[in-house]
Amino acid sequence: EADIYQTPRYLVIGTGKKITLECSQTMGHDKMYWYQQDPGMELHLIHYSYGVNSTEKGDLSSESTVSRIRTEHFPLTLESARPSHTSQYLCASSEFTGRTQGEQFFGPGTRLTVL
């Protein structure tokens, strides 16, 4: 069964705090992604990874950073959260099949509110 987990589901924090959003998948997928989505808007790719020790910035500029030390784990870190970071963060994974990419499996998302 395809499973991808995100924690926490909801987070309310004050400005200036450091936070890490967790994402894990049990499918052995090489490719993983982080998207940012505001209500009623499209998903914007902020980071992606082709495998262990591979990370790339996405199409939307972001002040966050990511790491990929293990295949199943792709955490996203904000060193100093600001109100402009308030959004829904979605993690996804897919098999790496070259340009003919298969479906992406999404986690439930983390809704972040920075006061």
Q: Site residues (CB under 8 A) for another protein?
A: 33, 35, 40-43, 45, 48, 58-59, 90, 92, 98-109, 111
Neighbouring C-beta atoms of residue 100, cutoff 10 Å = 5
Q: How far is the CB of 35 from another protein (least distance, A)?
A: 8
Tokens of 38: 């505001």
Nearer to another protein by Cβ, of 4 and 78: the residue is 4
Q: How far is the CB of 17 from another protein (least distance, A)?
A: 23
Q: How far is the CB of 65 from another protein (least distance, A)?
A: 19
Q: How far is CA 70 from CA 23, 40, 83, in A?
A: 11, 33, 31
One-letter amino acid for residue 64 of the chain:
S
Nearer to another protein by Cβ, of 9 and 18: the residue is 9
Backbone φ and ψ for 66, nearest 5 degrees, come out as -135, 165
Nearest residue to 27 via CA among 95, 103, 100, 91: 95
Nearer to another protein by Cβ, of 56 and 79: the residue is 56
Tokens of 35: 């998207």
Q: How far is the CB of 22 from another protein (least distance, A)?
A: 15
